[in-house]
Structure 1
Amino acid sequence: MNTFHTVNAKKLKQISLIIVISFFTALFVYSSNLSTLSVFSTKDGPKAIYKGEKGVAITFNIGWGDEKAKPILEELKKMNVTSATFFLSGAWAERHPDLVEQIVKQGYEIGNLGYAYSDYTEMEPNKIKQDILKADEIFKKLNVKDVKLLRVPTGHFDKATLKVADSLGLTVVHWSVDSKDWTNPGVEEILNNVSKVKKGDIVLLHASDSAKQTKDALPSIVKELKGKGNFITVSDMISNGDAKSSLIQ
């Protein structure tokens, strides 16, 4: 009997040790995940807009290139799309003042895409601030004032980026639907990527030269999205109180 109890005691010790180790392992993993989440989003801190509740916001990123932006603007005008938001890098805007003017004349909203199209997660906060402000100076010189929206270059951002943007009075705008047009997967695939759009979605498109198929896909995209809701700017979503503030991970 004594031997029996001795063996069980050893087993119980082993089981207890395994439980303790498992508990602390789980706690470590949980804490690591919690830290990751706190980096990207805080309970009361600044967050990123990625979705609304009404309308559909078509957004275009332009970081570089001389060929694709103008045809896309002409196609949008041809299809009578009067509301869209263009996020422009300051370097591109500086080289293409005529196209910036055309975007404004067609009634589209302009947002900040930074100046040099750098990855903000690899930059110190003061460098992020300098990049954003440099782009803002270009916009002011081009008579584009009161730019209040920021889309982070490369789409990568963290808590530090959100804090810098907030300190400058800017709202970070992500997206809820990615057309993946910059990968040039074919017009049908681009359309398929945006076909999942619902009311309140912010759609990511590109008018940089890397997006070679966007212009050809636009007629089908516009036709598809018009059935999902009215086209509105991102600012309209925010001002109407319809935007959801959170971070897409």
Structure 2
Amino acid sequence: MDHFYVLKFNRRRRFVTVGAMILFVAGIFLLQSNFTLWGNASEDVAFTKGSAEEPNIALTFNISWGDEKVHDILETLKDENVKATFFLSGEWAERHPAIIEKITEDGHEIGMLGYRYKSYLDQDIEEVRRDLFHAQEVFGKLGFEDMKLLRTPSGHFNEEVLDLAKSMGFEVVHWNVSPNDWDKPVTEEIVDEVMKNTTNGDIILLHASDSATRTAPALETILPGLKNKGLEFVPISELISQAHAEIEIIE
């Protein structure tokens, strides 16, 4: 945070004023934090935004079904030399190892959506635990033994789910820009929402499942357009590392 205050007050009013100023600065910190907090104060959080001070952004894709649209998306990313993070359901991943190999060969990052793509709020916590363990097994067999990035199905979670994810060593990743590309047949609508709403530190959610029929065409405009705004694409892990480093400096 770049807020500094020099206090010069008489001895009688000093303590009252300093106390008020501490509360004021604390409020600013909460408003400008690099994280949107969900759950238990600073312990159990979902990462939803990187640093607002840096031009880095993360492009992320969810895949839970289908094997057609992802190829056009990968080609567009390669043409624009953009690296993204793909969140995959374990059920999809074990059926499409060749596509996963292509994603990683192109230099993209892999995260997981659990095993089944079913809301964790519609399951009891032990069912969620079993789903996460099953996903870990699947990704481990595919060569991702140390999977740390987790996006919950449909982005649904609560404090109990966050507690469990943390205990299993996961970083829960949400987003703060989503054009609902899976539900938009018009390319321009996807482009407009991303271009208008994306700024420093943002995490964009798009889809590479077969329901996302207009995502690849939209990317042809979005990728150069965001670059022209001075924004730089980085994997989620880099966005997280930068945000953690800045918080350590602040403290």
- How far apart are 1:180 and its partner, in Å? 1.1
- State the match for 1:70 in structure 2: 71
Report percent identity of matched pairs: 47
Task: Provide the C-alpha distance between the structure 2 equivalents of 1:111 and 1:61, rounded to a whole number of angstroms.
Answer: 9
Contact 1:112–1:132, Cα closer than 8 Å, also in 2: no
The structure number with the bigger radius of gyration is 1
CA shift at 1:40, angstroms?
A: 4.6
The equivalent residue for 1:229 is 231
Return the alpha-carbon distance in structure 2 between the equivalents of residues 40 and 203 of structure 1: 19
Q: 1:240 aligns with which of 233, 239, 242?
A: 242
Aligned CA distance change for structure 1 residues 110 and 243 (closer, same or farther; 3 Å)? farther
Partner of 2:199: 198
Three-state SS of the structure 1 residue aligned to 2:99 is helix
DSSP 3-state at the match of 2:213: coil
Cα RMSD over matched residues? 1.8
| Structure 1 residues not aligned, in runs of 5+ | 1-38
Is the CA contact (8 Å cut-off) linking 2:180 and 2:206 kept in structure 1? yes
> For the residues of structure 1 that align with 2:191 and 2:144, how far apart are their CA atoms?
32
Unaligned residue ranges in structure 2 (runs of 5+): 1-36
SS in 2 for 1:172: strand
Partner of residue 60, structure 2:
59
The aligned residue for residue 48 of structure 1 is 46
In the other structure, the counterpart of 2:3 is none
In 2: Cα distance, 1:224 partner to 1:178 partner: 16
Give the 5 Å matches for 1:7-86: 40-53=38-51, 54=54, 55-81=56-82, 83-86=83-86
SS in 2 for 1:223: helix
User: How far apart in 1 are the matches of 2:124 and 2:234?
Assistant: 34
Cα deviation, residue 183, structure 1: 0.6
8 Å Cα contact 1:191-1:221 kept in structure 2: yes
**Residue 111 of structure 1 contacts residue 150 of structure 1 at CA under 8 Å; is this kept in 2?**
yes
TM-score between the two structures when normalised by the length of structure 1: 0.79
User: Which residue number in structure 2 is paired with residue 115 of structure 1?
Assistant: 115
TM-score (norm 2): 0.78
CA contact (8 A) 1:87 1:151 kept: yes
Q: In structure 2, the residue corresponding to 1:91 is in which secondary structure?
A: helix
- 1:123-149 superposed Cα distances (whole Å, 9 cap, x missing partner): 111111111121121111111232111
Corresponding letter in the other structure for 1:65: G
Q: Report how many aligned residue pairs link the two structures.
A: 206
